[in-house]
């Protein structure tokens, strides 16, 4: 698919109507989450919840590639916001314990 320009950005307050329209078109209920919006040539085609991963997309547009880009970006943003010890616990690895110089005495 040949797109003129794809933009991925965080949704802001003025995007509420855009998110509501995409959710209505997709017959999906939006969770309480922060969203990334995927636009093609300035037109919103899809959005994804950063923490929940809930995707809403315009079913009348070819959104597969935009949706995949949104998924990858949302994973990256979510991982950057997650403390490293939580990522270790999620993988089943023990979290590193650090002692201060005072605790070693």
Per-residue pLDDT tens digits of the chain, which is 105 residues long:
555 799 999 999 999 999 999 999 999 999 999 999 999 999 999 999 999 999 999 999 999 999 999 999 999 998 877 666 555 555 555 555 555 455 444
Radius of gyration (Cα) for the chain, nearest Å?
18
Assigned CATH class of 6-90: alpha beta
User: Given its phi and psi angles, is residue 62 left (phi above 0), alpha (psi -120 to 50 degrees) or beta?
Assistant: beta
Residue 7 tokens read as 């933009």
For the chain, the domains span 6-90
Contact by Cβ (8 Å): 85, 96:
yes
DSSP string, 39-75: EETTEEEEEEETTT--EEE-TTS--HHHHHHHHHHHH
């Amino acid at each position: 698919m040949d797109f003129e320009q794809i933009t991925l950005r965080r949704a802001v307050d003025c995007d509420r109507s855009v998110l509501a329209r995409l959710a209505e078109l997709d017959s999906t209920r939006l969770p309480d989450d922060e969203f990334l919006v995927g636009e093609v040539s300035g037109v919103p085609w899809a959005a994804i919840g950063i923490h929940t991963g809930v995707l809403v997309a315009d079913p009348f547009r070819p959104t597969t590639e935009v949706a995949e880009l949104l998924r990858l970006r949302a994973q990256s943003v979510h991982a950057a916001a997650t403390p490293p010890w939580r990522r270790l616990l999620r993988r089943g690895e023990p979290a590193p314990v650090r002692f201060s110089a005072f605790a070693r005495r």
